[in-house]
């Protein structure tokens, strides 16, 4: 847990005081002696427990190499306080904040402490006051010492608690700022009052597990009682009158005790329950100047010192692991002066030093690292490791460019020099033969290695460079050389056979540079050259090779012929590491070609595969030019593994091996790495936190503001509002805040409402999402990120985007367009009226001129004037009368034609109704005949019963009434039953007649409730018998599928009856037509079905009339409900039946009438009528 907060300037000053003044009494060499003693007492840590660091320095953009404090904010950004400014880091770039002339800038560039309050504001402590950064405006508010403010300008420590308070430890006391009241409360030392601060120099703050505030000062540790505002001081035994070591850091452990670091007295352990305050008894931790202490989430204690590096104490350990700055080691601690230790939410531990900022992924685990140490003669002879071998007895042989190093315990190496004609020769290959002989392939040939040294073994010909060694199952030694091809040595005779490339012989080896050798499960020898892969088919003088060369365009061939390594598995597959990726070959069927796995198509980190080794779980571990990866041959998937700092990944080479215990070893230009696969964490399980870092328009970053499309800085913004011109080119920048290996984080993004799917596969260098020509509308931009191990944050970050339309596409513009259109119509109408009026006036004027001309002529002929004028006036009067009479007659003709047309239309509609009535006639006759037969039969029977009653009375007239009462009563009951039956069937006949009368009426009738099933059954029978009456040979299978839950529905019965008669008649016509064309094999069928559908708002009764007749062609199906449209021959139909039916259902009943049809399959008409509520089942 993060509990310690301190600053740089304070403990630097304290250290200077200790060095120059307070410790002068002990002698000027005190600190050097202390550091030497601590170095001597610190035991060498087990190699497998060491970590490798990644560095962040001024060359990466850090404001200053002296880093005092580190903090991760709620968004996931890392804030770094340095001696020359404040940095914000997202894993890719550093943004700098410094003091400027503006009062809204940082108080001072020397940053000593950081904290984030409950509202998200960032508090920055400096040597000249306190600053608060408003994240929305990116402006600082300064607090300087004075009444109602911080106690002192020298801010040493900061802490923000969950109650809404910010605590500031200064060189002049402790201050508490309340976010609600915006008021400061000051706590200072009062001489003689033990309940106050023991010292005003507050250098460390921490919250205990119980919520108490722990305060570190120059005079011990105090606990603040929040309720009373009083302090209780804790000091080590014997220091009650004063504590000589200033407290630099406090960390609260998971067990509840406190770790207290001091500047001069080392590390202490404080138990709040018992008050025990004792020095930490840990071997290797005898340092006096402890600058920072932190217990991480796994229980490991980290102790930073001033000038003596970093210490790691794993849980339960009794000895500290020491980390020092080592020149030439890129993975070592960057500087030995540690100022702060911090763990972020993703499990990355940050170590602030005076040489920069270091970090490593605590969640991943560590590896053992072996390097050359010039001060240690038993370390590796060189960091350039080119060959590795673990023998059957567990001995490790390491081939370097200076010697062969041999170790049995890993703690010390014995060096066996290998020399050539010009000095030390690099060892490139190592092999243990079946008889135990150790063979070494070097730049000076091959050597036999033993405890007494390395003995050269001469081979015929000139000196060779032996790059690969293999002993086959027959005992022959094969040597792959760089320049002399492949050499086979007989173990018994020492004789050799050379196999070299012959351009004229296609059966020779592909190239004379043989870099790798392997023997497959069938015993065949494979040689990897710089021009392809070759199989030795026949050895000896008549040697023949089958070679497979590179063909990048062929997916079944090698992508590149330069082969680094070969690995043969027991299942018969051969795995080939090349400069063009990883390849697999089935050695039992090589003609099938290679399976190719490349960086472009898989998660392989690099196509340059240098070494392959198989672990105990049958995973393949690959060393590539961009690091280590684990490959699953079953699923063909990769999982990259981070080995630590930047140096480890980039310096792997072609050396790799596995020990009998399952440990894997890899060599390279930076020494030797060793680890157990089960101990190297599979992945960091913590997903990155995702932020949108910037928005750009047209390539220019967008700053937030009142007139800006962005309502706040991009990480805080919720909405981006753009006009149509700004949406032409918009770019969103983002970052996944996971600092384990930011360069391998990956991203995907989408614009909801614009993109159809996620755009994925973006690497760390592609952290932008450009969009062009976004149309007006509302969208949401979303981005997700995964860490280097592929763990995704699927919530990600989002930003609402609104693109407003141009003014000519706004609702107001469309309203204006409508207004202009209306105005145009009005103006056109006015113009048209004026034009017609003008024409009439011109006509009148021309007529007047003609009359004037005639008058003038009449005056010229005065003798004829009176007569001609009278004649002219008479002619004009007659003409006007004729014109008026003609217009009146024309008007009467038009009105007459209109009345005739309306009458004709009414007659057509009535004729259609009468036609349907005519279709009913035969059916009605049949239907009414049955009840009339029943009436006649029961009437006859009643007459017989009356006669019988009379006879009974006559025959028994002398008998008392009681004697014949029973017989008379029985006869009367039969008469009564016959009368009831006569009435029942008479009523049925009356109903049929009324239905016929209603059907024939021309006007609408009243609505009424009908039982749907009975109504449909009755009209189906009428239509059927009508069809039978018109065509005696007509036969059809009339199927009734009536839903007992159909219930009642309110309709106009005669109107609905007309619809059913029309639809059923059409159905009978369609099946009849098809019967005529298809013949005997066709069976006509018409189905009448009802059902009731219920939904929350409305019940519906559905009536379906389905036939298997001729069907309706697609091109005319949409026209069937149009008036006067018919497919029947002329004279067989008016074309109004379906049109009237459609109007009756839709307009008269508020229902729907639809048709489904397929030509030569059949037609279905579907009537849906609204019903008030779902009734109980009614039986038809």
3-state secondary structure 552-602: CCCCCCECCCCEEEEEECCCCEEEEEECCEEEEEECCCHHHCEEEECCCCC
Going 786 to 791 to 792 to 797, the CA torsion angle's sign is negative
Pairing mode, strands 496-499 and 514-519: unpaired
Closest CA relative to residue 518, chosen from 584, 461, 462, 616: 584
Contact by Cβ (8 Å): 160, 121: no
**Sheet of 544-548, strand order:** 514-519, 525-529, 532-538, 544-548
- Measured CA to CA, the distance from residue 178 to residue 724 in angstroms comes to 45
Between 1175 and 206, the more confident residue is: 206
Q: What is the CA radius of gyration of the chain?
A: 52
Contact by Cβ (8 Å): 520, 472: no
- Measured CA to CA, the distance from residue 707 to residue 728 in angstroms comes to 19
Q: For residue 1178, is pLDDT > 70? A: no
Q: Dihedrals φ, ψ of 131, to 5°?
A: -125, 145
- Measured CA to CA, the distance from residue 1084 to residue 1033 in angstroms comes to 13
Q: Would 460-598 and 689-807 be classified into the same CATH topology?
A: no
Q: Dihedrals φ, ψ of 596, to 5°?
A: -110, 130
Mean pLDDT for 543-547 is 95
Q: Is 382 helix (H, G, I), strand (E, B) or coil?
A: coil
- Measured CA to CA, the distance from residue 549 to residue 1076 in angstroms comes to 76
Domain spanning 8-365: CATH superfamily = YVTN repeat-like/Quinoprotein amine dehydrogenase (2.130.10.10)
Mean pLDDT for 482-494 is 90
Mean pLDDT for 956-971 is 79
HSE, CB side, 13 Å, CA atoms: give it for residue 947.
6
Torsion on CA atoms 7, 10, 15, 20, rounded to nearest 10: 160
Tokens 């440990």 sit on residue: 663
Lowest mean pLDDT segment, chosen from 90-99, 331-340, 632-641, 1040-1049: 632-641
Quick one: angle between helices 862-955 and 961-1000, nearest 10?
A: 160
- CA angle 141/146/151 to nearest 5° reads 90
Tokens 């014995």 sit on residue: 414
pLDDT (0 to 100) of residue 86: 97
Chain mean position to CA 1095: 37
Between 45 and 881, the more confident residue is: 881
Closest CA relative to residue 152, chosen from 166, 169, 168, 170: 170
Contact by Cβ (8 Å): 920, 927: no
Tokens 């012929």 sit on residue: 561
pLDDT (0 to 100) of residue 374: 83
Between 935 and 799, the more confident residue is: 799
- Measured CA to CA, the distance from residue 372 to residue 415 in angstroms comes to 12
The answer regarding whether domain 1006-1171 maps to CATH 1.10.3720.10 reads no
Q: Which residues pair with 800 in a beta bridge?
A: 719, 780
Q: Is 1168 helix (H, G, I), strand (E, B) or coil?
A: strand
pTM: 0.59
**Average pLDDT value for the chain:** 85
**Sheet of 594-597, strand order:** 563-568, 573-578, 581-586, 594-597
The residues spanned by each domain of the chain are 8-365, 460-598, 689-807, 895-996, 1006-1171
Q: For residue 105, is pLDDT > 80? A: yes
Closest CA relative to residue 257, chosen from 71, 80, 3, 570: 3
pLDDT (0 to 100) of residue 915: 54
pLDDT (0 to 100) of residue 924: 59
pLDDT, one tens digit per residue, over 848-890 is 888 888 777 767 777 666 777 778 778 878 877 887 887 787 7
Which residues neighbour 960 within 8 Å (Cβ) at sequence distance 6 or greater?
none
Which stretches of 255-366 are assigned E, i.e. beta strand? 258-263, 267-270, 277-279, 290-295, 301-305, 310-313, 321-323, 338-343, 348-353, 356-361
The matching CATH number, chosen from 1.20.120.1770, 3.90.226.30, 2.60.40.10, 3.40.50.720, for 689-807 is 2.60.40.10
Closest CA relative to residue 696, chosen from 729, 671, 663: 729
pLDDT (0 to 100) of residue 1155: 93
Q: Dihedrals φ, ψ of 1091, to 5°?
A: -160, 160
Closest CA relative to residue 123, chosen from 166, 69, 153: 166
pLDDT, one tens digit per residue, over 246-285 is 899 999 998 889 999 999 889 999 999 888 999 988 887 8
Mean pLDDT for 790-809 is 90
Using 50, 70 and 90 to split pLDDT, how confident is the model at 943? confident
pLDDT, one tens digit per residue, over 1059-1075 is 998 899 999 989 988 98
Which stretches of 362-457 are assigned E, i.e. beta strand? 368-370, 385-390, 396-400, 403-407, 414-417, 419-420, 423-424, 427-432, 438-442, 445-450, 453-457
- In our burial notation (b when 16+ CB lie closer than 10 A, e otherwise), range 532-558 reads bbbbbeebeeebebebbebeeeeeebb
Contact by Cβ (8 Å): 419, 405: no
Q: Is 781 helix (H, G, I), strand (E, B) or coil?
A: strand
Look at phi and psi of residue 723 and say left if phi exceeds 0, alpha if psi is from -120 to 50, else beta: beta
pLDDT (0 to 100) of residue 19: 38
- In our burial notation (b when 16+ CB lie closer than 10 A, e otherwise), range 265-292 reads bbbbbbebeeeebeebebebbbbbbbbb
- Most confident range (mean pLDDT) of 535-544, 640-649, 926-935, 939-948 is 535-544
Which residues neighbour 1075 within 8 Å (Cβ) at sequence distance 6 or greater?
1082, 1084
Mean pLDDT for 607-617 is 95
What percentage of the chain reaches a pLDDT higher than 70?
87
Q: Thinking of the domain 460-598, which architecture would CATH place it in?
A: 7 Propeller (2.130)
Q: For residue 11, is pLDDT > 80? A: no
Q: Which two tokens stand for residue 652?
A: 């792997």
pLDDT (0 to 100) of residue 376: 87
Closest CA relative to residue 1156, chosen from 1124, 1102, 1114: 1114
What percentage of the chain reaches a pLDDT higher than 90?
52
pLDDT (0 to 100) of residue 15: 43
DSSP string, 801-833: EEEPPPGGGSHHHHHHHHHHHHHHHHHHHHHHH
Q: Which two tokens stand for residue 1030?
A: 């018109």
- Measured CA to CA, the distance from residue 300 to residue 304 in angstroms comes to 13
Which residues neighbour 713 within 8 Å (Cβ) at sequence distance 6 or greater?
135, 136, 138, 704
Closest CA relative to residue 123, chosen from 169, 191, 185, 91: 169
- Measured CA to CA, the distance from residue 385 to residue 610 in angstroms comes to 13
HSE, CB side, 13 Å, CA atoms: give it for residue 467.
22
Closest CA relative to residue 612, chosen from 597, 626, 639, 630: 630
Q: What is the DSSP letter of 226?
A: T
Q: Which residues pair with 232 in a beta bridge?
A: 223
Quick one: angle between helices 811-860 and 862-955, nearest 10?
A: 130
Q: Which long-range contacts (CB under 8 A, 24 or more apart) does 41-46 make?
A: 41/283, 41/284, 41/286, 42/283, 42/284, 42/285, 42/311, 42/319, 42/320, 42/322, 43/283, 43/284, 43/319, 44/411, 45/312, 45/319, 45/321, 45/322, 46/321, 46/368
């Amino acid at each position: 847990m993060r509990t310690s907060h301190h600053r740089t300037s304070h403990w630097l000053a304290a250290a200077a005081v200790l060095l120059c003044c307070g410790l002068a009494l002990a002698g000027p060499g005190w600190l050097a002696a202390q550091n030497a003693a601590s170095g001597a007492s610190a035991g060498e840590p087990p190699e497998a427990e060491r970590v490798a660091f990644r560095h962040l320095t001024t060359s990466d953009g850090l404001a200053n190499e002296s880093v005092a404090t580190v903090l991760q904010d709620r968004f996931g950004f890392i804030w770094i306080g340095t001696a020359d400014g404040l940095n914000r880091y997202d894993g890719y770039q550093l943004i700098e904040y410094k003091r400027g002339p503006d009062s809204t800038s940082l108080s001072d560039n020397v940053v000593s402490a950081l904290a984030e309050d409950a509202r998200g504001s960032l508090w920055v402590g400096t040597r000249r006051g306190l600053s608060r950064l408003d994240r929305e405006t990116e402006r600082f508010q300064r607090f300087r010492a004075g009444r109602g403010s911080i106690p002192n300008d020298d801010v040493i420590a900061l802490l923000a608690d969950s109650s809404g308070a910010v605590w500031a430890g200064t060189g002049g006391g402790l201050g508490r700022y309340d976010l609600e009241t915006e008021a400061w409360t000051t706590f200072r030392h009062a001489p003689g009052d033990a309940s106050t601060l023991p010292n005003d120099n507050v250098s460390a703050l921490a919250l205990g597990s119980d919520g108490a505030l722990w305060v570190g000062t120059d005079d011990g540790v105090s606990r603040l009682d929040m309720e009373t505002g009083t302090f209780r001081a804790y000091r080590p035994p014997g220091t009650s009158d004063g504590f000589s070591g200033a407290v630099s850091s406090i960390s609260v452990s998971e067990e509840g005790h406190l770790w207290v670091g001091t500047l001069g007295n080392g590390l202490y352990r404080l138990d709040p329950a018992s008050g025990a305050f004792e020095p930490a008894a840990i071997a290797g931790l005898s340092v006096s100047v402890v600058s920072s202490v932190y217990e991480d989430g796994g229980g490991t204690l980290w102790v930073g010192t001033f000038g003596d590096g970093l210490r790691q104490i794993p849980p339960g350990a009794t000895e500290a692991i020491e980390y020092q700055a080592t020149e030439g080691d890129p993975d070592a601690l960057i500087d030995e002066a540690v100022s702060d230790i911090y763990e972020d939410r993703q499990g990355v531990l940050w170590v602030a030093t005076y040489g920069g900022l270091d970090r490593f992924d605590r969640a991943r685990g560590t590896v053992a690292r072996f390097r050359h140490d010039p001060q240690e003669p038993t370390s590796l002879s060189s960091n350039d490791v080119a060959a590795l071998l673990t023998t059957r007895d567990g001995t490790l042989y390491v081939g370097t460019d200076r010697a062969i190093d041999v170790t049995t315990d890993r703690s010390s190496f014995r060096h066996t020099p290998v020399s050539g004609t010009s000095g030390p020769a690099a060892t490139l290959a190592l092999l243990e033969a079946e008889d135990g002989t150790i063979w070494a392939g070097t730049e000076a040939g091959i050597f036999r290695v033993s405890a007494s040294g390395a003995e050269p073994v001469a081979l015929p010909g000139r000196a060779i460079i032996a790059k690969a060694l293999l002993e086959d199952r027959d005992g022959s030694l094969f040597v792959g050389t760089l320049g002399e091809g492949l050499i086979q040595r007989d173990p018994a005779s020492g004789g050799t056979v050379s196999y070299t490339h012959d351009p004229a012989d296609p059966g020779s080896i592909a190239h004379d540079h043989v870099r790798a050798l392997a023997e497959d499960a069938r015993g065949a020898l494979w040689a990897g050259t710089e021009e392809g892969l070759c199989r030795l088919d026949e050895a000896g003088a008549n040697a023949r090779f089958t070679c497979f060369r590179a063909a990048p365009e062929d997916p079944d061939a090698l992508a590149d012929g330069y082969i680094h390594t070969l690995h043969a598995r027991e299942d018969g597959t051969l795995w080939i590491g090349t400069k063009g990726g990883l390849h697999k070959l089935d050695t039992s069927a090589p003609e099938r070609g290679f399976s190719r796995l490349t960086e472009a198509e898989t998660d392989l980190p690099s196509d340059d595969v240098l070494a392959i080794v198989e672990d105990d779980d049958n995973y393949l571990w690959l060393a590539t030019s961009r690091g280590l990866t684990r490959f699953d041959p079953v699923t063909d998937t990769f999982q990259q593994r981070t080995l630590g700092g930047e140096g480890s990944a980039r310096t792997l080479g072609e050396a790799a091996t596995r020990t009998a215990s399952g440990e894997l070893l890899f060599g390279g230009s930076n020494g030797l790495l060793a680890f157990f696969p089960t101990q190297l964490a599979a992945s960091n399980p913590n997903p990155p936190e995702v932020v949108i870092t910037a928005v750009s328009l047209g390539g220019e970053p967008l700053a937030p503001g009142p007139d800006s499309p962005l309502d706040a800085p991009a990480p805080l913004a919720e909405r981006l509002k753009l006009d149509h011109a700004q949406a032409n080119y918009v770019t969103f920048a983002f970052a996944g805040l996971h600092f384990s290996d930011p360069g391998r984080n990956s991203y995907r993004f989408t614009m909801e409402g614009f993109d159809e799917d996620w755009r994925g596969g973006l690497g760390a260098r592609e952290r932008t999402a450009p969009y062009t020509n976004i149309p007006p509308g509302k969208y949401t931009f979303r981005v997700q990120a995964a860490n280097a191990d592929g763990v995704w944050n699927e919530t990600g970050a989002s930003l609402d985007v609104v693109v407003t339309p141009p003014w000519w596409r706004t609702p107001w513009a469309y309203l204006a367009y409508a207004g202009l259109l209306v105005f145009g119509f009005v103006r056109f109408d006015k113009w048209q009226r004026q034009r017609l009026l003008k024409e009439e006036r011109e006509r009148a004027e021309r007529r007047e001129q003609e009359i004037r001309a005639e008058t003038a002529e009449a005056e010229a002929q005065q003798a004829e004037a009176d007569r001609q004028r009278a004649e002219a006036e008479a002619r004009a009067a007659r003409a006007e009368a004729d014109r008026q009479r003609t217009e009146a007659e024309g008007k009467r003709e038009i009105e007459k034609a209109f009345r005739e047309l309306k009458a004709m239309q009414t007659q057509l509609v009535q004729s259609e109704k009468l036609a349907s009535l005519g279709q009913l006639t035969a059916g009605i006759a049949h239907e009414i005949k049955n009840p009339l037969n029943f009436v006649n039969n029961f009437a006859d029977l009643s007459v017989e019963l009356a006669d019988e009653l009379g006879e009974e009375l006559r025959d028994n007239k002398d008998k008392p009434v009681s004697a014949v009462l029973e017989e008379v009563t029985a006869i009367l009951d039969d008469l009564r039953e016959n009368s009831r039956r006569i009435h029942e069937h008479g009523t049925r006949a009356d109903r049929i007649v009324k239905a016929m009368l209603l059907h024939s009426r021309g006007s609408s009738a009243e609505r009424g409730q009908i039982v749907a099933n009975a109504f449909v059954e009755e009209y189906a029978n009428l239509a059927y018998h009508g069809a039978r009456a018109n065509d005696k040979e007509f036969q059809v299978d009339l199927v009734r599928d009536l839903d007992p839950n159909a219930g009642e529905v309110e309709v106009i019965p005669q109107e609905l009856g007309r619809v059913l008669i029309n639809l059923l008649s059409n159905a009978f016509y369609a099946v009849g037509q098809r019967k005529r064309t298809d013949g005997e094999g066709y069976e006509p069928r018409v189905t009448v079905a009802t059902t009731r559908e219920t939904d929350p708002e409305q019940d519906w009764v559905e009536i379906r009339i389905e036939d298997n007749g001729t069907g309706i062609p697609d091109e005319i199906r949409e026209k069937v409900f149009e008036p006067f449209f018919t497919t029947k021959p002329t004279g067989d139909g008016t074309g109004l039946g379906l049109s009237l039916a459609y109007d009756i259902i839709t307009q008269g009943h508020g229902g729907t009438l639809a048709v489904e049809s397929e030509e030569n399959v059949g037609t279905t008409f579907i009537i849906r009528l609204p019903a008030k509520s779902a009734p109980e089942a009614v039986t038809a």
